[in-house]
Amino acid sequence: DEGVDVYLPIADEWFIHRNGTYTLVGNGSHLIPAPLDELPYFVKAGSILFLQKEGQTTALRRESELELFVLPNTKKEATGFMFLDDGETMDTAYHTIRASLTQRSLKLETFSFGTSANKISLPKVSKIQIATVENIENEVVC
């Protein structure tokens, strides 16, 4: 198995997730090993991933805490968004959470929309992990 040819847009840097680690792979064309028992995925550098344990329903999932995984770009910045509604009704009330990392701080902002948005509980953030990129020229495990 040689792998799969993958093209990642040149305007950005990219991480690949494999076997529980993120590796900076850069941009352009890559030959990525693709064994049948592994599902690699790519994340644009500068992204913040909102992670939460799975649940049988949206309501049950909301009971678990959030983890943020931050993959900064070469400027040590990142941004991510999360959308939260009640998961049960057609109501147009919802929250968005915006996370942003700058060289100085990590900021979380919540925006509420609709009259019944206050009935939607926001999950707690239990863990924040920020990947460090020391040398962007080589593959770096974060």
Tens of pLDDT, residue by residue, the chain (142 residues): 578 888 988 877 888 888 777 888 878 888 888 888 888 888 999 999 998 877 777 666 667 788 899 999 888 899 999 888 767 677 777 888 899 999 888 999 988 888 777 777 778 888 888 887 553 334 444 4
Cβ atoms within 10 Å, residue 54:
7
Six token digits for residue 52:
């939460």
What local confidence, expressed as pLDDT, does residue 81 receive?
Answer: 94
What local confidence, expressed as pLDDT, does residue 133 receive?
Answer: 57
Q: Is 15 helix (H, G, I), strand (E, B) or coil?
A: strand
User: In a 10 Å sphere around its CB, with 0-12 CB exposed, 13-18 middle and 19+ buried, how is residue 1 labelled?
Assistant: exposed
What local confidence, expressed as pLDDT, does residue 27 receive?
Answer: 84
pTM: 0.77
Which residue in this structure is represented by tokens 């020391």?
A: 134
Euclidean distance between CA atoms 102 and 70, whole angstroms: 11
Euclidean distance between CA atoms 52 and 59, whole angstroms: 12
Cβ atoms within 10 Å, residue 101:
23
What local confidence, expressed as pLDDT, does residue 136 receive?
Answer: 37
Euclidean distance between CA atoms 130 and 100, whole angstroms: 12
